[in-house]
Structure 1
Amino acid sequence: MSRRTILAIASATVLTAAAAPFAFAGSFVTVPLGTGAAECRLAWQKDGVTFKPFLPGSDPTAFRLVGATGTATIDLASVGNPIALANSVYIRATTRGGFTLTDAAGHYVQISTSDGSLTGDTSFTVQTALDPAGTRMSVFDIAARPTITGDVRSVVPPRVDLALSDARLSVQPEFANAVNEAFGPGSMAPGDLLATCTGTVSI
């Protein structure tokens, strides 16, 4: 991903954006994101390492991503076919949120301020005891495009509600290296399942 940049949700996030002119290219239209929310549940764990989210989710393993801005591109030719419309969506956004992993020895890994898209290419600012100032790096990839369902409320202007589920986030090598430096070799491997996410977005 060469320092590629989420949403994670993933993906889908709490979003607010001022009205802006629509950019057309054929049947595709690019519009500001409206509102939404995303929650991810951490799948990775290691004995002795504590997980603390910036914004807690619905259970102790969950964290939320909020306050994002960005754009969505959709194919208006797919209006009338909610599945095709949802599958045509390309969302790119920046978000606030993340989490910290710590151990009893004071080692830590903290991720925050994500930027990326539903297809992956996600980066966060990653801070560690060895790099307290932080470095922007690839943290996870989306192993498979999340399931997206859409509800068209208006064609002109475009108004679409999207629900996302089962976004599975796989660990990228750069982030695995940071975790292994903090908590010991073998703590995390590239390709490990980091988290799963769900969310909603309104365009």
Structure 2
Amino acid sequence: MSCRTILIVTSATVLTTAVAAAPISFAGTSVTLSLGTGVAECELTWKRASVVFKALIPGSGPTAFRLVDATGTATIDLASVGNPIALANSVYIRATTRGGFTLTDAAGHYVQVSNGDGSLTGDSTFTVQTTVDPAGTRMPVFNIAARPKITPDVRSVVPPRVNLSLSDVRVSVQPEFANAVNEALGADSVEPGDALATCSGTATT
């Protein structure tokens, strides 16, 4: 084999290796994927004497409730694979869920929260039914004060497949929900900004 032939073969091998090692890039960087599965569990931290909590779908503890059957989308910047912080910060989830809880006092007055619809940015709404409003009204229930911890696990880049784990989702009471609770269960039952629950969850695309 001539020196010229050896040089051509060596150059082609180096080029092929470099292309194989390079990360796949995306023109739009972020991709929006449909959720395959999604579930969250929340531990209620708000308590009041004589008010009984009941989960519509029970969680792992006596004051825990589950939000299940999530449908919606997850947006993630797959160009950030290899940079865990940037990848986690790029995640945006918007979904509807089934589940919630009921609060009932000794006189039978109640507040029921169900059918969530929203995102991790604190713009979620739920159907809130009360003794005063049994038909129910969709309203903001909680606020997410700080971005929760999100751990993405990219199973495949092409096609995009991602597992998402969320933890330390701390939520507080929104003013509209506080008004509904106080109207149904008595004045000063809850104040806007009171801690309501701590949640965690998983989702797949």
Report if TM-score (shorter chain) is over 0.5: yes
Q: 1:51 aligns with which of 47, 53, 58?
A: 53
Q: Answer 1 or 2: higher relative contact order, Cα 8 Å, separation at least 6.
A: 1
What is the match of residue 106 of structure 2?
A: 104
Counterpart secondary structure, 1:120: coil
The answer to which structure has the higher strand fraction is: 1
The CA deviation string for residues 61-116 of structure 1, in whole angstroms up to 9 with x for no partner, is 10000012101111121112233212101110000000000011111000110000
Q: Which structure has the greater CA radius of gyration? A: 2
What is the match of residue 139 of structure 2?
A: 137
Structure 1's unaligned 5+ residue stretches are 1-23
What is the match of residue 70 of structure 2?
A: 68
Q: 1:172 aligns with which of 171, 174, 192?
A: 174
**Identity fraction in percent:** 77
- What aligned pairs does 1:13-162 form with structure 2 within 5 A after superposition? 26-162=28-164
CA distance in 2, matches of 1:37, 1:83: 23
- Counterpart AA for 2:169: A
Aligned residues: 180
What is the CA RMSD across the aligned residues, in angstroms? 1.2
- Counterpart AA for 1:190: P
Counterpart secondary structure, 2:123: strand
Counterpart secondary structure, 2:87: helix
The answer to which structure has the higher helix fraction is: 2
Structure 2's unaligned 5+ residue stretches are 1-25
Counterpart secondary structure, 2:191: coil
CA distance in 1, matches of 2:81, 2:161: 11
> Where does structure 1 differ by over 3 angstroms across 4 or more consecutive aligned residues?
none
What is the match of residue 188 of structure 1?
A: 190
On the 8 A contact 1:83/1:150 being kept in 2, the answer is no
CA distance in 2, matches of 1:65, 1:36: 9
TM-score in terms of structure 2 length: 0.85
